[in-house]
A and B are shown apart, each in its own frame.
Chain A
């Protein structure tokens, strides 16, 4: 069961606006909840997400406790050249996940 899902068009024409979709499985525990015995459930969230297109950062987001579990992020960019998109999620408790996809731009 993959923890990261990404959807990047395999092919695009140069200059096309393309949609990119990502979904990361994560509990996104707010840190505001208490257990039945009264102790606080420690915060455990993804704190940042970034996407690089051939090394250049094209999208970044900071996450906070109000973001629901399994964050689904979708955004648009312009297809400029063939290459690779790298995705990175960083969070509490040393959470770090990456994923990548290739695109051919004609």
Chain B
């Protein structure tokens, strides 16, 4: 990666950073093509990079992502249940590169927000005028006693799609009929809040057809969750007696795990799982912390209109990593945030006024093949935070053809979102 550093310019940047608030409002460094770097090639980062380039072809946009392929989480629960192949979840960055976006296939190791440089492991650096962080989530391997990176090989979280997804699938395929599948769910905030329950549903579908004596136990650090009634009704209808859930106030919070014995411990119980799917607490991807954009919650506070970090100058944070109030951490929200952030950056660089964004989010859940429901929300900034201004949830009582239609819409939604993001 070619990088130039001019001492004078760097000094100028430092001077500007002292007046960080003023610098944010300035269309700074307009003399050359503004350089925008995006770290993270998921739904948020890829959508943002594409939108930046489309809104202003004069921008130098670099997408920093070490993986050659992206593996999408939405629909990966179907992979776990043996209903879908992982290859259908995978996308490359070829079409994004063809649009004139530079792909830096390396992991960012350091960020100097005052010098506005990104450092890579090989010692090279990249300068930017604006930086967008879209690092997604990292598992907190320090948060649940017994659950570290090695434990995840025995008790997969499968909360980032890829090898972990396949590992959980293989474990479920290998389980004896009658074996207990335990899903441990952390307290909020977590990536894709209804996904643990979609996962329980689809695993139940697999068990019902292949291992009817097996059961699923969901140990949950929450009392209530998104679309709960729809899930509970579906479980009664499709999987009677197969899924038991213990919520927080019934002692469901997992307090420790033992990967050697596959034991999962709560304050009031001790469970030995045949398959233990332990979803640990999460935080923003590590680079956010390195950049100084994450607060002590582990997530990144932002200005809701611009997605500008509240902690570091000239840095924006989008997707699962940011604190976005009422917006759930989902693929469609990340994509919508990426586009809104791109518009804010382009307008700021051009000195144009900013419109408060209006974001659409959609969340589909598939509980069996041909049985889906959804939650669709509209989110707008209110009191310095995103608020849900309108939300539509599927009806509780609906005939099978409505559920079938929603399942088909979910497949269309995935296609639209992935084509929109990756080409």
Do A and B share a complex? Answer: yes
Q: Residue B250 at the A interface, CB < 8 A?
A: yes
Chain B neighbourhood of A1, CB < 8 A: 250
A7 pairs with B250, CB closer than 8 A: no
Contact of B249 among A6, A21, A69 (CB under 8 A): A69
Closest to B248 in A: A70
Mark each residue of chain B from 31 to 50: 1 if its CB lies under 8 Å from any CB of chain A, else 0. Answer: 00000000000000000000
Q: Residue A18 at the B interface, CB < 8 A?
A: no
Mark each residue of chain B from 238 to 274: 1 if its CB lies under 8 Å from any CB of chain A, else 0. Answer: 0000000000111100000000000000011000000
Q: Residue A5 at the B interface, CB < 8 A?
A: yes
Chain A neighbourhood of B250, CB < 8 A: 1-2, 5, 25
Closest to A70 in B: B249
Determine which residue in B248, B249, B268 has the highest number of CB atoms from chain A within 10 A of its CB, and name it.
B249
- How far, in angstroms, from A6 to B269 measured CA to CA in the complex? 10
Mark each residue of chain A from 9 to 40: 1 if its CB lies under 8 Å from any CB of chain B, else 0. Answer: 00000000000010101000000000000000
Mark each residue of chain A from 64 to 79: 1 if its CB lies under 8 Å from any CB of chain B, else 0. Answer: 0000011010100000
Interface size on B, residues (CB 8 A): 6
- How far, in angstroms, from A98 to B249 measured CA to CA in the complex? 17
Closest to A19 in B: B267
Contact of B267 among A2, A25, A69, A72 (CB under 8 A): A72
Chain B neighbourhood of A7, CB < 8 A: 267-268
Mark each residue of chain A from 46 to 87: 1 if its CB lies under 8 Å from any CB of chain B, else 0. Answer: 000000000000000000000001101010000000000000
- How far, in angstroms, from A96 to B251 measured CA to CA in the complex? 20
B-binding residues in A (CB < 8 A): 1-2, 5-7, 21, 23, 25, 69-70, 72, 74
22 pairs, CB–CB < 8 Å, chain A vs chain B: A1-B250, A2-B250, A5-B250, A5-B251, A5-B267, A5-B268, A6-B268, A7-B267, A7-B268, A21-B267, A21-B268, A23-B249, A23-B251, A23-B267, A23-B268, A25-B249, A25-B250, A69-B249, A70-B248, A70-B249, A72-B267, A74-B267
Q: What are the 6 closest A-B residue pairs judged by CB atoms, nearest first? A: A70-B249, A5-B268, A5-B251, A7-B268, A21-B267, A25-B249
